[in-house]
């Protein structure tokens, strides 16, 4: 037996709060101007929020109101809980996108050099970088089991808090799941770790009993795993009253492994939240998840990881690499050939095919960007399976 662990965090975790601030603002700018260029970063520490970055947009947005409404919606209404939505100190440092970057994005190297007149070659990648997409047959969502369970536990923590089922819970929290594998198959649920913020005066025994009833058991009912030797570590550090930004500073983009595949797949390093779709850190990572999921659903491999790289200002990817971990039913070379025949990974094509200019990004900013069933994200659709089979 081999063991692998992944973690998640709730929407009230200070880093996740900042991700949500950045994406709420991105949605607002894109709603009024589909051509908005955004790279929005948020920082929160104590009773303070600072929004910084670059925005070029025709939209008129009440940034402060959006941020305060977002913080309030999470449940942070008093500084004693973590931050006061109505009373926190407010700082704004938004400038415009660099004209040098804008020039390369608005007209790609292929068009500037006269190599192409293809309309999909108009838009250049908003940055250089490497992106990864991943999918596996471990769960019906084509996600790694440890991360899928960690996300569901984190979501259920928020459900229990907001519904009043466990009324003393506060917004901040973290989950972690360790799964035992027989080869590549998840078979044993080994350890569940939950650290949740709570009101003062609640005993460890009550927290553990309530979380098992209202958080853990409803999630475990959704999986078929051996739980006979499961270990529970609930608030293992003891009392967790001080939380949110009052307990730990938060920053956009600091939970990139939580956002993607829980460490089961490599990560290119670029965060998602606050970035408009011309930034391939986000749009190409979404596209590669779409590709990987369809490849696995087509039966080409039990799990696949796809890497693509870009150069800033160019439309076409620089490279592609396919890893199937020995689970392939056809060669990686045939898989790559089929992908290239079916999918167009130029930024403009990705934005159009996945309808990214009409997608709300705020829902992605907590509980994972991939494997979601509570939202119909275009990159989760299995709509190219037959085309891949025909192209292989």
Q: Is 62 a catalytic residue?
A: no
- Spot the catalytic one: 37, 170, 198, 275: 275
- Spot the catalytic one: 240, 300, 343, 370: 240
341: number of Cβ within 10 Å: 12
Q: 175, 167, 209, 214: which is closest to 192 by C-alpha?
A: 175
- Spot the catalytic one: 11, 19, 23, 41: 41
Q: Is 16 a catalytic residue?
A: yes
Provide the terminal-to-terminal Cα distance of the chain, rounded to the nearest Å.
35
Q: Is 255 a catalytic residue?
A: yes
Tokens of 111: 């068009």
- Spot the catalytic one: 45, 165, 249, 391: 249
DSSP 183-212: TTEEEEEEEEEEEEEE-TT--HHHHHHHHI
Q: Is 15 a catalytic residue?
A: yes
- Spot the catalytic one: 151, 152, 174, 198: 174
- Spot the catalytic one: 255, 282, 293, 384: 255
Q: Is 140 a catalytic residue?
A: no
Q: Is 65 a catalytic residue?
A: no
Q: Is the dihedral of CA 28, 281, 16, 212 positive or negative?
A: positive
Q: Is 162 a catalytic residue?
A: no
- Spot the catalytic one: 4, 7, 11, 16: 16
Q: Is 279 a catalytic residue?
A: yes
Residues in contact with 301: Cβ distance below 8 Å, sequence separation at least 6, in sequence order:
295, 324, 325, 327, 328, 329, 335
- Spot the catalytic one: 50, 254, 334, 337: 254
The answer to whether 342 touches 387, Cβ cutoff 8 Å, is yes
Q: Is 248 a catalytic residue?
A: yes
- Spot the catalytic one: 4, 7, 11, 15: 15
Q: Is 240 a catalytic residue?
A: yes
Largest interatomic CA distance in the chain: 70
Q: Is 41 a catalytic residue?
A: yes
Q: Which residues, listed in sequence order, are joined to residue 48 by a DSSP beta bridge?
A: 89
Q: Is 360 a catalytic residue?
A: no
- Spot the catalytic one: 33, 45, 52, 54: 54
Catalytic residues: 13, 15-16, 41, 54, 174, 240, 248-249, 254-255, 275, 279, 281
């Amino acid at each position: 037996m081999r063991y692998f662990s992944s973690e998640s965090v709730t929407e009230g975790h200070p880093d996740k709060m900042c991700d949500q601030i950045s994406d709420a603002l991105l949605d607002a700018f894109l709603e009024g101007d589909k051509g908005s260029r955004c790279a929005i970063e948020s920082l929160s520490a104590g009773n303070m929020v600072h929004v910084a970055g670059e925005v070029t947009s025709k939209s008129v947005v009440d940034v402060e109101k959006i941020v305060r409404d977002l913080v309030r919606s999470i449940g942070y209404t008093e500084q004693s809980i973590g931050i006061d939505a109505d009373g926190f100190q407010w700082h704004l440092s938004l400038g415009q996108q660099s004209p040098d970057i804008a020039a390369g994005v608005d007209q790609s190297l292929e068009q500037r050099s006269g190599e192409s007149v293809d309309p999909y070659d108009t838009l250049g990648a908003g940055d250089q970088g490497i992106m990864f997409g991943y999918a596996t047959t471990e769960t019906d969502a084509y996600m790694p089991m440890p991360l899928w369970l960690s996300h569901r536990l984190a979501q259920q923590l928020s459900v229990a808090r907001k519904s009043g089922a466990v009324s003393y819970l506060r917004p901040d929290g973290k989950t972690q799941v360790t799964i035992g594998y027989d080869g590549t198959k998840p078979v044993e649920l080994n350890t569940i770790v939950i650290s949740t913020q709570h009101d003062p005066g609640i005993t460890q025994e009550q927290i553990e009993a309530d979380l098992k009833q209202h958080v853990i058991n409803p999630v475990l009912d959704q999986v078929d795993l051996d739980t006979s030797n499961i270990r529970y570590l609930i608030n293992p550090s003891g009392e967790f009253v001080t939380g949110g930004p009052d307990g730990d500073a938060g920053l956009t983009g600091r939970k990139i492994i939580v956002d993607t595949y829980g460490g089961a797949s490599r990560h290119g390093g670029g965060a998602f939240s606050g970035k408009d779709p011309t930034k391939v850190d986000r749009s190409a990572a979404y596209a590669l998840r779409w590709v990987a999921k369809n490849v696995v659903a087509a039966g080409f491999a039990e799990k696949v990881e796809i890497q693509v790289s870009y150069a800033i200002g160019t439309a076409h990817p620089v490279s592609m690499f396919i890893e199937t971990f020995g689970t392939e039913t056809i060669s990686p070379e045939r898989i790559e050939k089929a992908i290239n025949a079916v999918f167009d990974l130029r930024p403009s094509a990705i934005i159009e095919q996945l309808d990214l200019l009409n997608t709300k990004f705020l829902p992605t900013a907590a509980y994972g960007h991939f494997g979601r069933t509570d939202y119909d994200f275009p990159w989760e659709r299995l709509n190219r399976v037959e085309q891949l089979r025909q192209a292989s």
